[in-house]
Amino acid sequence: MINKVEEISFNLGELTLAGLAFGDKNDELLLCLHGWLDNAASFLPLMPYLKGKRVIALDWPGHGLSSHRSADAHYHFIDYVYDLLLLWETNQWKKIDIVAHSMGGMISSAFSAAFPEKVKSLTLLDSIGFMSSDAQESTEHLRKGMLSRLKNNTDITSISKKKKVHPSLKSAVNARVQVSDLSFEQAKLLVERGIIEEKNGFIWRSDSRLRNSSAYRLTLGQAKQFIQDISIPVQLIYGDKGLSFVQSGLKEFAPLFSQFTSHKLMGGHHFHMENPEATSRQILEFIS
């Protein structure tokens, strides 16, 4: 199957988005969008089961093989929404189906609310609603975000700025396993795409600025308004051992969707890698 996967890229001007594609180019497009600090390889286990679809899995900016944002930019949530808008305009895409995991689900939800004419359906994988906070916490978020940015300023050379060097690929994979619910083989798929070998060993490709604290959060009212404005069909698939954020989000956000269904599968936050056949079956049933 891996031999049939194609490396692709999209030039968006200041950025180049890399990705993986699978399936007949004449089939209907299915766009897959990964979560924070993952990459397009998280959808490799799904690809052979998504029969009859042209599957494109993207690397978000700063992730995988995609460009990092310029030195004077940062990774604001709303800028990812603009990346999607540019992607549609560049390719002159019409309405297409989206499958999105974790952070990718939040971005896709905001995009679907603002641009319903561009999205046919949205499948959320262990992701619902948005991270939000009380309006009274806005100043504290701003302070923490600015201090985090200052500490990790790309112009400051310090020992703390240097990325951790792993002596081997196995070391890097084990490090990823320790901070996730992934098996060694699942983590290896992500690490192989998300790491680069240098003279002294292996370092992560991802932009260090992705770990900066956010300088702002949506209020719950804003988050709910985005969900209420989603007019397309939405399904949530979540793992029985997935994020607790999703369990609470079901109560908070599910009643706000105009067309919504949900399904629980066995697995953790990356259940789509653990249980790709059942996940793909549910995706295809929904979008057909």
Whole-number pLDDT of residue 221:
96
Q: What is the pLDDT of residues 63-122, one digit of tens each?
A: 999 999 999 899 999 999 999 999 999 999 999 999 999 999 999 999 999 999 999 999
Whole-number pLDDT of residue 152:
81
pLDDT at 156 over 50: no
Q: What is the pLDDT of residues 3-46, one digit of tens each?
A: 699 999 999 998 999 999 999 999 999 999 999 999 999 999 99
pLDDT at 244 over 90: yes
Please state, rounded to an integer, the average pLDDT across all residues of the chain: 94
pLDDT band, residue 160 (cuts 50/70/90):
very low
Domains of the chain are 2-136+218-287 (3.40.50.1820)
Q: Which of 42, 66, 67, 102 is catalytic?
A: 102
pLDDT at 161 over 60: no
Q: Give the global pTM.
A: 0.95
Task: Give the mean pLDDT of 184-213.
Answer: 95
pLDDT at 158 over 90: no
**Does the annotation count 171 as an active-site position?**
no
Whole-number pLDDT of residue 2:
58
Whole-number pLDDT of residue 3:
66
Task: Give the mean pLDDT of 158-170.
Answer: 76
Whole-number pLDDT of residue 164:
87
Closest by CA to 99, choosing from 190, 28, 37, is 28
Whole-number pLDDT of residue 163:
84
